[in-house]
Structure 1
């Protein structure tokens, strides 16, 4: 039983603990090339949040990890079989209910640990911040915390690529098929220059961009690379959890 994982705690234990920070892992259910499971983002959210919370707990931070939300924004993948889309407006409604509970029960800090590139919680947290002005509402996308080029040979992918494949080879190798069965993750680029350079944005239509649903070549992935990356990601995020748990809501700026 891990006391910082809500799904594993019980009513007696909860009553004896004061929590300073709630962590909400948020994933997605979607295809990840030919070789990885639909639950890839959920597995990553579960394991990264749990390990970061463990490291923070051992440093004295009173954190609690809520159950992972398994569905994310997949509006660009409506024709990919069983990619389950949750609209941003639905995410806002779910978040509102969770924040309402935390606020009422005296847990005034929430971190969303995001595990899916299609999720973007910033505008939602702005709106909820007006509704709940005494809450510190924040988000972190774990895949943006480190420089991937220091860990992987092909760091430019962003879906079922070398990084994600390496992570799953470390975390759940039983769910990864042999890499010679994986697609190459070749992705078409925008013809519109502003979109291609990244200073303008439009949503990608997934099935027009990639044939195998992957973006980034996974073929050089290894469990060893995944282990090193996982350890460094969780170590860095644990530092954020410690700081947030200790933060004085009336004295956040210097």
Structure 2
């Protein structure tokens, strides 16, 4: 089953069979998303997606706990735009470190950091190895921005081009139109793409292989990278259905992976 950590009592958490459990730590952000989306978009999407997962998916032989969602991440690239909140790299590092230390102290040994903001990605990948070494736990990182997570569904429904899905884009706007349409103002949505110097070169681009250290104002006038005008609530519904099914498969694989035991062979 999937349960919110905060809804359990201390005795209920104590009674959980720790060797048959997974703790998910959701990590979002509070940052500008253009003029058409709220600053809490990343956290709103992640929270609602986990709520859908909780309603639709069950793990009868395993206990999956959802730790409290961190609604602020590392978003200093967006600080030129009003409303953005950000922790520094080291502040977020230590916050997650402290959180994982508490989780591990209560006997849990398998933890998944689930991230919905691209600015957190590099930090989480570095931190995961430090957490494995420091706290002797299995740590997994799931990031839906710089992985292939959305590829299959995007190949079916995406109408925008290569940079149409990046930030406040066709994907995020569609998800928000599905989850919280009252927070979306499509009359203010504009499509924006980075300058060709950062997209068309063979080697230097914001997708790599050589990546410049950019802030949002370097690549966008209004804080959008992508094509939100092509978003729709119907696409959002399709994205959610896909994500729930995909996450179910992914979590089962995490549950069945016990990589810290491999070194003892």
Shared fold (TM-score, shorter chain, > 0.5): yes
Aligned partner of 2:251 among 226, 230, 241: 241
Residue 201 (str. 1) matches residue 217 (str. 2): no
Q: Distance in 2 between matches of 1:129 and 1:16?
A: 24
Partner residue in 2 for 1:51:
52
Residue 162 (str. 1) matches residue 167 (str. 2): no
Aligned partner of 2:195 among 188, 194, 199: 188
Partner residue in 2 for 1:139:
141
Deviation at 1:50, TM superposition (A): 3.1
Contact 1:195 1:201 in 2 (8 A): yes
Aligned partner of 2:155 among 149, 157, 168: 149
Give deviations 1:62-109, integer Å, cap 9, x for gaps. Answer: 100011111111222232223112122112101211111122111101
| Residues 1:206 and 1:34: Cα distance change in structure 2 (over 3 Å) | same
What pairs with 1:55-204 in structure 2 (closer than 5 Å)?
Answer: 55-120=56-121, 121-133=124-136, 135-143=137-145, 144=147, 145-147=149-151, 148-154=154-160, 156=163, 157-177=165-185, 179-190=186-197, 193=201, 194-196=203-205, 198-204=208-214
Runs (4+) off by over 6 Å = none
Partner residue in 2 for 1:30:
31
| Residues 1:250 and 1:86: Cα distance change in structure 2 (over 3 Å) | closer
Contact 1:27 1:69 in 2 (8 A): yes
Partner residue in 2 for 1:221:
231
Larger helix share, 1 or 2:
2
| Residues 1:246 and 1:55: Cα distance change in structure 2 (over 3 Å) | farther
Matched residue of 2:84: which SS?
A: coil
Q: Distance in 1 between matches of 2:5 and 2:242?
A: 24
Contact 1:63 1:245 in 2 (8 A): no
Contact 2:3 2:65 in 1 (8 A): yes
Q: Distance in 2 between matches of 1:47 and 1:191?
A: 33
Q: Distance in 2 between matches of 1:236 and 1:75?
A: 30
Give deviations 1:112-150, integer Å, cap 9, x for gaps. Answer: 1100011121111112222123x1111111343121232
Matched residue of 2:126: which SS?
A: helix
Q: How many residues align?
A: 250
Partner residue in 2 for 1:4:
3
Q: Distance in 2 between matches of 1:72 and 1:162?
A: 22
Point out where structure 1 has 5 or more consecutive residues left out of the alignment. none
Contact 1:3 1:9 in 2 (8 A): no
Q: Which range moves more in the overlay, 19-28 or 144-153? A: 144-153
Contact 1:26 1:114 in 2 (8 A): yes
Q: What TM-score do the two structures reach when normalised by structure 1?
A: 0.88
RMSD of aligned C-alpha atoms? 2.3
